[in-house]
Structure 1
C-alpha cells in the first residue's frame, strides 16, 4: 500500500481568475448590485488571495458586463430550441465569459476560451452542461475571424 500523500493539484492563476469571474457573474445575474465596484470589492474580499491576484478576473467581469447585451444576443442565436430564460444561470455565466473572450479578447486564443468554458462547466454545472456549452461555443468558433490556436496580433 502506498502511504505517500500526493500533492493537491492547484488550478492555474488564470483558471482561478476565470472561476472567480464565473462566481461573480452568477451572483450578478441573480441580484444585480446598484454599485458594481462596491459589490466586486466585497466579493473579492472573501477570496483566498489579495485583490491584485484577481486582476484578470476583474477585467473579465467588467468586460462581460459592459458587453452583456451583445454577448446575450449571440447566446440567443446559437441556443437552438432553448428559450433564454431556460438556460441555467451558471451555464449562462460560463457562456457569457467565454463568448466575451471570443469576441473581445484577441489576446486569448479562442480554443483556450472554449476549453476553459468546458472545464468550468465540469466544475460548476451538471454533466450535461458540457455538451450544451460546447455546442454553442462550437458554433461561435466558426464565426471567429482569427486563428483558433493563437492570440491575434
Structure 2
C-alpha cells in the first residue's frame, strides 16, 4: 500500500473510531474490506495517533483560532490528528510532505473550504515551532 493510500485509510479509521466509537480492529476491517493490500503502515499510523491522542489534541487546540476541537468537522479533526501525529512524533517525514498530504486528503474527503483551514492550522503550528527552535 502506498503511503498516501495508507494515510487516506488511516483518516477513515480515525474518523470511524471518533464518530461511531468502533474498535480499532473493526475500523480497519471496514476500511480494508476486500483489499489484499498490506495494511501494516496504515495500522501503525492509527495506533500511534490514538496512543498519543491527548498530546495531539492539546497541541491542535492551540492553533484552532476561535474554534473548539469538538466543533470542527469530524473528518477535518481526523486529518489534523494524523498530520499533527506525523509532525510531532515522526522525524523522518518532512513537514512539507505532511502538510501537502493533509491538504490533498482534505480535498478528497472534506468540503471545499476545509483544505484551506487545515493548511492554516498546520502552517501556524509550523511557524510557532520554527520560532521556538530558532
TM-score (norm 2): 0.89
Residues 1-153 of structure 1: pairs in structure 2 closer than 5 A: 13-33=2-22, 35-36=23-24, 38-50=25-37, 53-142=38-127, 143=129
Instruction: Name the structure where helix makes up a greater proportion of residues.
Output: 2
Question: 1:45–1:85: structure 2 CA closer, same or farther, 3 Å change rule?
Answer: closer
Gaps of 5+ in 2: none
Residues 88-136 of structure 1, C-alpha deviations (whole Å, 9 max, x = no match): 0000000000000000011111110010000000000001001110011
**Which string of whole-angstrom CA distances, capped at 9 and with x for unpartnered residues, describes residues 25-66 of structure 1?**
000001223x53x3245235405233xx22111110001000
Looking at structure 1, the residues matched to 70 and 100 of structure 2 have their Cα atoms a distance apart, in angstroms, of: 25
Larger radius of gyration: 1
d(CA) in 2 for partners of 1:41 and 1:134?
27
- Give structure 1 stretches of 5+ with no counterpart: 1-11, 147-153
Q: Structure 1: which 4+ aligned runs deviate by more than 4 Å?
A: none
- The question of whether the paired residues in 1 share the 8 Å contact of 2:15 and 2:78 is answered with yes
- Pairwise CA RMSD: 1.9
Count of residues in correspondence between the two structures:
131
Indicate the residue corresponding to 1:3 in structure 2: none
